[in-house]
Amino acid sequence: MADEFTEVDFGGHKVMVPKGGYYDRFGSNPDLDAVAKDPAAGNIDFFRRIPKVMVPSRIGPTWAPNFYYRTSNVQALMLAPVKKIRAMLPGQLEPLRALPGYGLVALTFFSYAVCDNDPYNEVSVAVVIRRPGARGPHALELLGSMRRQSFFAHVLALPVDTEIARVRGVHGYQLPKWLTGIQLDISSKGVSASIAATDGRPDVALTAPLPALRRIPSQSRLSTNTSIGLVDGEWRQTQFVTNPIEFARTLFPRDVKLSRAGGPISQLLDGLGVGTILRFDVVKDAQMVLHLPRSLQALPAI
Residue 274 near residue 79, CB atoms below 8 Å:
yes
pLDDT the model gives residue 146: 81
DSSP state of 99: B
40, 113, 160 from 43: Cα distances, Å:
9, 14, 26
Is the predicted pLDDT of residue 48 greater than 60, yes or no? yes
pTM (two decimals): 0.95
Inter-CA distances, 99 with 92, 95, 168, 249, Å: 21, 11, 36, 20
CA-to-CA distance for 195 and 266, rounded, in angstroms? Answer: 10
pLDDT confidence band for 299 (50 / 70 / 90): low
Question: What burial class does residue 47 get, using C-beta atoms within 10 Å of its C-beta: 0-12 exposed, 13-18 middle, 19+ buried?
Answer: buried
- Mean of pLDDT values over 22-51: 96
Q: pLDDT digits over 169-192, tens only?
A: 999 999 999 999 999 999 999 999
33 vs 255: CA distance, rounded Å: 43
Please give the single-letter amino acid code of residue 161: D
- Give the separation between CA 247 and CA 232, rounded to whole angstroms: 37
- Sheet with 257-260: list strands edge to edge: 182-187, 190-196, 202-208, 257-260
Kindly state the average pLDDT of the residues 240-258.
Answer: 96
1 has a pLDDT exceeding 60? no
Q: What is the mean pLDDT of residues 232-246?
A: 95
Q: Check if the beta carbon of residue 150 is closer than 8 Å to that of residue 141.
A: no
**Residue-wise pLDDT tens digits, 77-131:** 999 999 999 999 999 999 999 999 999 999 999 999 999 999 999 999 999 999 9
CATH superfamily, region 65-295:
Acetoacetate decarboxylase-like (2.40.400.10)
- Contact between residue 159 and residue 177 where contact means Cβ atoms under 8 Å apart: yes
Give domain limits for the chain: 65-295
Does 27 have pLDDT greater than 70?
Answer: yes
Q: What confidence score (pLDDT) does residue 215 get?
A: 98
pLDDT in the model for residue 149: 80
Query: 40 pLDDT exceeds 70?
Result: yes
